[in-house]
Amino acid sequence: MTTSEAERSAMQRALTLAVTPGVPLGPNPRVGCVLLDSDGSRVAEGFHRGAGHPHAEVEALRAAGDAAHGTTAVVTLEPCNHTGRTGPCSEALIAAGVRRVVFAQTDTNPVAVGGAARLREAGIEVEGGLLAEEARAVNRTWTFALEHGRPFVTWKFATTLDGRSAASDGTSRWVSSRAARLDTHRLRGLCDTMLVGTRTVEVDDPELTVRDEVDEPVAHQPLRAVMGLRDLAPDRRILDDRAETVHLRTRDPREALAALFARDRQHVFLEGGPTLARAFLEAGLVDEVVAYVAPMLLGAGSSAVADLGITTIADAVHLHVTDVAVLQGHDGDDTNVRLTMTPTQTPTRTPTQTPTMQRSS
């Protein structure tokens, strides 16, 4: 079987539907669906609006009514085959009399898998893989979390041109420009978890919320996670009622991510200090790096990451730059450069080097 131009066009429309503004980024995948008649004309469409709402296929079937019989369902993700808050989409498509199903991305969720097989068993034509990579990009972190059994980790930091995240007296507030800080809040809003160490909470007392241009928290807030063994003072702002907070009593990044994955978290925004950054880098658990570089020099002060034990340039951690953006304020002086990168290797230590066990004090 092959797909038609009408089906390809419908899939592109379904991908657009999947990323409809306002659709939550998790914990469910974003999915769009378009129904086509035998002539390739669109009959109805739908998209998933978040956990607890009907899936995209069901939305499209409801919109089509009796006209769904004999159609081709074009959907960005393989129809599910399980009963959760909603029924199996595979059974809904069978009951509606759909003739053919074309999907993009295979559903690897062990709970939902088997939709394509069930449809074929019922005599429905099934074709998978149309614009699959585009569909994976729509649900990048959801797909990653399923395939790796842990959340995707984005490490964000701000630095001067000479690699300092704070001056020698500890001040760091103006390393990031206002434009960069607003951009950071935008990126925070794309994640479902923000993670820092207990020392960051103790020293910096961050609120760790997503805020708008007038510095007010927005309605939807990611989980605030604190990693480390020491107790948190009850007056810390991270413990207020503006967002949920969890204390992960471990210094092991893998244990922390496992605990967050068990909470159905898929994308961690790592905002801790240099010790926490080192722990995740050494564990090979940084999947993306976002650096805000300010046009200033300090010459001394804290670096973005603690000592990795690298003594020769051959062992340097290499990063692949995927995006560069200049963030400029209204006055022209309030400027940072944002670099988005992916690590191409993890740090290696020689056998004589022993990494410290206190990762995120």
Active site residues: 57
Gyration radius of the chain over CA positions: 23
Residue 244, both tokens: 């949920």
CA distance linking residue 255 with residue 285, whole number of Å: 11
Return d(Cα 74, Cα 127) in angstroms, integer. 10
SS3 286: coil
Please tell me what DSSP assigns to residue 211: B
CA angle 119, 123, 125 (to 5 degrees): 70
Instruction: Answer for the pair 359, 229: CB distance below 8 angstroms, yes or no.
Output: no
Q: State the Cα–Cα distance between residues 27 and 273, nearest whole angstrom.
A: 27
Place of tokens 């999915």: 31
Structure tokens at 167: 């001056």
Both tokens assigned to 313: 């340039």
| Burial classification of residue 193, based on how many CB atoms lie within 10 Å of its CB (0-12 exposed, 13-18 middle, 19 or more buried) | buried
Beta bridge pairs of residue 221:
none
Both tokens of 133, joined, read: 């990579």
Q: Write the CB contacts of 264 (distance below 8 Å, at least 6 apart in sequence).
A: 26, 27
Let me know the angle formed at the C-alpha of 298 by 292 and 299, rounded to the nearest 5 degrees.
120
Residue whose entry in the numeric block shows the structure tokens 């034509």: 125
Q: Are 63 and 17 in contact (CB under 8 A)?
A: no
